[in-house]
Chains A and B, each alone.
Chain A
Amino acid sequence: MDRLLRFFYEYRAFFTFLVLELVCAWLIVQNNQYQSASYFNSSNRLAANIVGFSNGVREYFSLRDINNELADENAELRTKLEKRNQSFYSLETHEIKDPAIINRFDYVSAKVVNTTSSFFKNYITINKGSDDGIRPGMAAISSVGAVGKVKSVSEHYSVLISLLNVDEQVSSVIKRTENFGTVQWDGVDARFANFLYIPRHVTPQVGDTIVTSGFNAVFPEGVFVGIIRDVRLSEEAAFHNIRIELAQDFTKLSFVEIVRSNLKSEKDSLELKTIGEPK
């Protein structure tokens, strides 16, 4: 026993090293789990304040772009509203009476305080948290397209898993042919992602629009994701190789909207009862 203790004491530096590396390995595994409620990330108040300060300085240089983007979005929304109003005059619409359906989604606008786009696993920190009703698992979109999912929240900040994260998958659909697939980033170029699982018999074309499918009830249906830029089909492959150009430029992200899906828990619990745990 004495000799054993002396042995440990002799190599105490090595064992500390070993223990610390094991702790790190454990932390990495923990952090990779989707929806971890971790305290040690940039949603922590002190960390968020510091990155928020550096972002505040940088923001002055992109104010013009941000303003233009917001103005464009306003114009687009106005056009949409007007179109909707016009179509009501001519169309006999059956009114949806259930307020639960009408209020299915509501939106919380939040400012991006921190974002990366050049790692394999990129995250975005925003300045709204559980106080504004944000919970892990909610979707984040911007004026141009899908952005990501909420990973963890603190009181005033949240961390989102960016679409530019090799672990993130978004169920999407080709708008023209209505075929379902999955958008996943490959970790190389921040402008492009892959669109997977489109079977051989479908003929996707360059220029087709990809929107979210609304299948997993995280994203609302029809949020713009990207445009097909390249389609390849090798001899034996069961699926097409499709490259899409993402709608959102992640290097210039300044505002996002968090989508609160009010019926998600109802849908999930119903599915859980009938289908069982999702694989």
Chain B
Amino acid sequence: MTRSGVWIFISFFLYLLIQVMLLKNLVLFSTAFCFLYVAFILFLPVETNILALTLIGFFTGFIVDIFYNSLGVHASSLVLISYLRNYWLGVITPQGGYDANSRPTLEANGTQWFLVYTLPLVLFHHIMLFIIEAGGFHNFGHTSLKILFSVLFTMIVLVILQLLTTERRRV
């Protein structure tokens, strides 16, 4: 296993631990949730093949589900964006393409590209998650409020995390 492979392995546990021990308790105004574990799938190397991505996505979502007592809900939404991720990366390829072995991060491709990459995927994930969790479209006003604020919350934390890790590497 290469150095980046080891780092991915460690970050998998880090994301999950942060999610279930910290962010699970951090729900703002009982509408804004932070599902940071999505970042684990989003920031896997560009070349990761779709088959591996969907399987990893399912596995990650399944573990999160165990802690949220919502078997299948997080897994299904994460499988969806794991599957879509590479197609979306293909659509928004920057000029000159991706560097070999690079990860789709803010540092590598700039803020604007980063937002175009993450926002739709996070949005898809949250829409699917909350609609399944609500068991359909009843109470849709409340559900869409949750989706809106949770996407905001997750995105803010995502960007902050990216800025922090970038800073560290420069030093």
Q: Residues of A at under 8 Å CB distance from B?
A: 12-14, 16-17, 20-21, 23-28, 30-32, 38, 40-42, 44, 47, 50-51, 53-54, 58, 116-121, 123, 125, 159, 166, 186-188, 190
Contact = CB atoms under 8 A, between A and B. Distances in A.
A38 B72 CA distance: 13
Contacts of A118: 27, 30-31, 33
Interface stretch (B63-71, B89-97, B157-165): B63-71
Nearest to A160: B69
B133 interface: yes
B67 A42 contact: yes
B55 A58 contact: no
A16 B55 contact: yes
B54 A20 contact: yes
Given A40-B71, A47-B66, A188-B142, A21 B31 contact: no
Given A21-B80, A118-B31, A27 B75 contact: yes
B20 A51 contact: yes
A25 B61 CA distance: 13
Nearest to B57: A20
A186 B139 CA distance: 8
Interface residues of B, number: 39
Contacts of A58: 25
A112 to B, nearest CB: 13
Nearest to B142: A188
Contact of B69 (A21, A27, A42, A188): A42
Given A38-B71, A40-B71, 11 more contacts: A13-B54, A14-B83, A16-B54, A25-B72, A27-B65, A31-B72, A42-B66, A118-B33, A121-B135, A166-B135, A190-B30
A41 B71 contact: yes
Closest 7 CB pairs of A and B: A27-B72, A24-B76, A118-B30, A28-B72, A13-B50, A31-B71, A54-B21
Interface in B44-60: 49-51, 54-55, 57-58
Interface string B123-157: 00000000011110001001000000000000000
Contacts of B80: 21
A152 to B, nearest CB: 9
Given A13-B50, A42-B66, A120-B135, A27 B71 contact: yes
B134 A120 contact: yes
Nearest to A43: B69
A28 B67 contact: no
B1 interface: no
A243 B164 CA distance: 47
Contacts of B25: 54, 58
A125 to B, nearest CB: 8
A279 B65 CA distance: 30
